[in-house]
Structure 1
């Protein structure tokens, strides 16, 4: 089959690889009908995710049709149309039983490696390094799905692939980001980063009752989409974000902030952003948390900071004094996608949201490597890429 594979920093190839097969009784194999390039895939493209090996198949936003099932699968059959969560979860362990599927204790075969980096291992993920299991991803013609009775959700025939594909990751992640904010009717929520997850967070914040959403970015296409969703858009290249948020909130700060940027934040020449870049370039630091620092300062006393941007290592100069003395709450996670799937599928079916609004580019797998570069460099108005094998 054809698949997108990683061969080093900025080196993504479309090449022939062996077809996946059933390896466990709980597996299914799906024929991929649609997949997407995620913003977190760009961290792999940029070479900042550890544990990648040459030839690894990428991708964790995938859907398709079941073509083969293991003998232990009871909930799916050949021909079922499914969306596959990016989190791989057993459904039976301590965390899965409590709905924390992304903390699954069983699904990462390399959990000892992850524990060395983070103290404990999260769940295995599709297409996201050997630190998280080394599972083949879904930017391919076929995908093996472990624990198939727990992960994939069947989708109705009247919904298109593009309407439901993002149930795999970015819609649940954006919704979780807003859910973490404990939004009360009329609250003001700030979202840093208007990429796909940020856009879903904006939509979700309004669905959950926010009165105002402030969206922070600098990319014209992203700002335009955020504005169409009803957000107040601020450009961090044109104005001081802290001062503008103070002005918009009467000096109080926003009720909650969402960091949808993560480890590769761009500053505007501020001292902390410059230091972040120097440390990363000289291997003295792993992440650039400029946005997280700003979100903390912009959040009102006893507000919430919701973090869904990807961070990989140790963060420097986080203003914990501000957070502690002002009573901030931090909420963060890899998304336990399975927890959110039923309610989000219902919202799509009821017409509350059509997640396909985010798509700007549609292409084949063969065009995937070039579109990684286009997406990373924010060229050609690229906000979200969907690939159709």
Structure 2
């Protein structure tokens, strides 16, 4: 079968690889109808995550059709159209029972090496093996498009997780640092949850324009402090969402948030440490949290928001390609010439 594989730092290629097979009674095989390219994939091919080897299939966002199931799979049958979380979870351990699937000891993250668990082949392929299929997969609902389902599996779940973790109250002000796909979807999620004002802080004018067109205010990093001060009478925003994944962006949040405000980081961090503003955080009673999207837990709620028209995450998709266009799409995403690409393996 064809798949997109990691070639070495910064490069990907389309290769013919052996198709996966069922390895456990809880596995399913899914024929991929649509896969996504995510900002996290840029970290993967840059070599930021451990254990990714040349030839590894990458990608962690997909929808498709079940073509085989193990003997222990009870929720799905051959022919079912399904969406997926970007990681697997067993569904029955202490953490899964609490709804904290990311903490599951059997977690594996599709196509990201061994940084987050055992290595698991990715989804930018014609067929993907899905461990713990009864938990990892969800039925594709009527009223939810393939593109919306792909975004629900990671980017939208991550954006919504920020809002959930922040405890956002109706009317509160939110600053989003980073106007990529996850940042924009965090902004849309905050709007859906009743934020009074959402400010997307982003260097790219094109991405600022996108934010404005979709209901947010927007500012460059240089303009942001003045805009925040004007909107909040100098107090600072109630919630900052850091959606970049580096120390500089995270540190900037501490200059924008009000006293007793909340900073939520949803960027994919690879650095081992950073300099924490301890005295300021203590004096101002700040809260810093980190959140990772868990579509297994959030699927029912987000599906309802999508199918009722409250949220349309597909506005971020600006390129649709076949395998042949993948390498260029990766390059364009890195250069911020596009926001979100989806791959149809059938093209």
Larger displacement relative to structure 2 (164-173 or 330-339): 330-339
Alpha-carbon distance, 1:219 to partner: 1.7
Partner of 1:174: 159
Q: Structure 1 unaligned runs (5+)?
A: 108-122, 264-288
Partner of 1:353: 311
What secondary structure does 1:175 align onto?
A: helix
User: Which one of the candidate residues 201, 205, 225 is aligned to 1:242?
Assistant: 225
Partner of 2:24: 24
Partner of 1:205: 190
| Distance in 1 separating the partners of 2:244 and 2:282 | 23
Partner of 1:111: none
CA RMSD of aligned residues (A): 1.3
Partner of 2:177: 192
| Distance in 1 separating the partners of 2:324 and 2:281 | 47
| Distance in 2 separating the partners of 1:336 and 1:32 | 21
| Distance in 2 separating the partners of 1:224 and 1:240 | 15
CA contact (8 A) 2:159 2:293 kept: no
Per-residue displacement from partner, 1:245-304 (whole Å, max 9, x unpaired)? Answer: 2233111010010001003xxxxxxxxxxxxxxxxxxxxxxxxx1111110221111111
Partner of 1:149: 134
Partner of 1:336: 294
2:39 matched to 1:39? Answer: yes
| Distance in 2 separating the partners of 1:331 and 1:373 | 31
1:28-67, aligned counterparts within 5 Å? Answer: 28-67=28-67
CA contact (8 A) 2:262 2:287 kept: yes
| Distance in 2 separating the partners of 1:161 and 1:331 | 31
| Distance in 1 separating the partners of 2:342 and 2:312 | 15
What secondary structure does 1:40 align onto?
A: helix
Per-residue displacement from partner, 1:297-349 (whole Å, max 9, x unpaired)? Answer: 21111111111001123232221221122111122132222110011011111
| Distance in 2 separating the partners of 1:217 and 1:305 | 17
| Distance in 2 separating the partners of 1:186 and 1:223 | 22
CA contact (8 A) 1:102 1:337 kept: no
What secondary structure does 1:131 align onto?
A: coil
Count of matched residue positions in the alignment of Structure 1 and Structure 2: 344
User: Which one of the candidate residues 318, 321, 328 is aligned to 2:279?
Assistant: 321
Larger displacement relative to structure 2 (3-12 or 321-330): 321-330
Alpha-carbon distance, 1:10 to partner: 1.2
User: Which one of the candidate residues 115, 120, 128 is aligned to 1:131?
Assistant: 115
Per-residue displacement from partner, 1:165-222 (whole Å, max 9, x unpaired)? Answer: 2111001111111122211121000000111111110011011110000110022332
Alpha-carbon distance, 1:150 to partner: 0.6
User: Which one of the candidate residues 302, 313, 325 is aligned to 1:367?
Assistant: 325
| Distance in 2 separating the partners of 1:38 and 1:204 | 18
User: Which one of the candidate residues 199, 221, 245 is aligned to 1:262?
Assistant: 245
Partner of 1:383: 339
CA contact (8 A) 2:160 2:293 kept: no
1:226-305, aligned counterparts within 5 Å? Answer: 226-236=211-221, 239-263=222-246, 289-305=247-263
2:92 matched to 1:80? Answer: no
Alpha-carbon distance, 1:157 to partner: 4.1
| Distance in 2 separating the partners of 1:298 and 1:214 | 11
| Distance in 1 separating the partners of 2:157 and 2:55 | 29
| Distance in 1 separating the partners of 2:120 and 2:10 | 20
1:105-120, aligned counterparts within 5 Å? Answer: 105=105, 107=106
| Distance in 2 separating the partners of 1:63 and 1:83 | 4
CA contact (8 A) 2:12 2:327 kept: yes
| Distance in 1 separating the partners of 2:143 and 2:97 | 32
What secondary structure does 2:324 align onto?
A: helix
| Distance in 1 separating the partners of 2:87 and 2:73 | 18
